[in-house]
Amino acid sequence: MKRNQETIHRVRIYGAWAWKKEEEWLNRMASKGWLMTDVTFLVYTFRRVKPGTDWIYQLDYNELRGEDLEDYKEIFADAGWKYITNFASWHYFRANADEVSSPTIHTNNESRIKMLWKVMRLLLIAGMPSYIWLMTTGRFMQTYIESGTFTWADVLMILVITLVLIIAYAILRLGLAIRKLKAQGKE
């Protein structure tokens, strides 16, 4: 990285269950003088600023469009949070710690649990067609594939199985995160 570079890009992978780790990483980058300006699939864009301001990043998951999205942004703006960007219904907010009314946008575990349930529901809906295909058409295809040969059907099966396993893992991790938040709420 060049010393006087004004913009940098970083590649990071976070699962939906690790949104707090993503916030912590963004906060560490900000403390070093790098403010996130955009995020796309795995790539974060940062611009250089003078270090010293105590910036806080927060993420929220919400599937909003149009006027609902504008109202949503306004609610957070009224509380001192600047809307930065969104990716895959994850919304990124930043605030100056000295100027914001609350250091977190999710003020209790109940709202965090609600957010994670929204993500889990989306994964269940998105994963169901792949799982159904795997259990029906995929199994049917396997009966007609010659043993000892590798075909496009094998590639398709591997891809669908991988997708189903990734979604199942994400749902499991989200479920564990929800369980942990619920346990914290009882303490």
Most trustworthy range by pLDDT among 135-144, 156-165, 167-176: 167-176
The angle formed by the CA atoms of residues 134, 139 and 143, to the nearest 5 degrees, is 155
* Cα 124 → chain centroid: 15
Q: What is the 3-state secondary structure (H, E, C) of the chain?
A: CCCCCCEEEEECCCCHHHHHHHHHHHHHHHHCCEEEEEECCCEEEEEECCECECEEEEEEECCCCHHHHHHHHHHHHHCCCEEEEEECCEEEEEEECCCCCCCCCCCCHHHHHHHHHHHHHHHHHHHHHHHHHHHHHHHHHHHHCCCCCCCHHHHHHHHHHHHHHHHHHHHHHHHHHHHHHHHHHHC
Domain spans in the chain, listed from the N-terminal domain onward: 7-96, 109-186
What is the pLDDT, as a whole number, of residue 92? 96
Q: Does the pLDDT value for residue 153 go beyond 90? A: no
Ranking 85-94, 115-124, 140-149, 177-186 by mean pLDDT, the lowest is 140-149
- What gap in Å lies between CA 30 and CA 53, rounded to an integer? 8
Instruction: Report residue 49's pLDDT band, with 50, 70 and 90 as the boundaries.
Output: very high
Q: Report the amino acid identity of residue 116.
A: L
Q: Does the pLDDT value for residue 1 go beyond 60? A: no
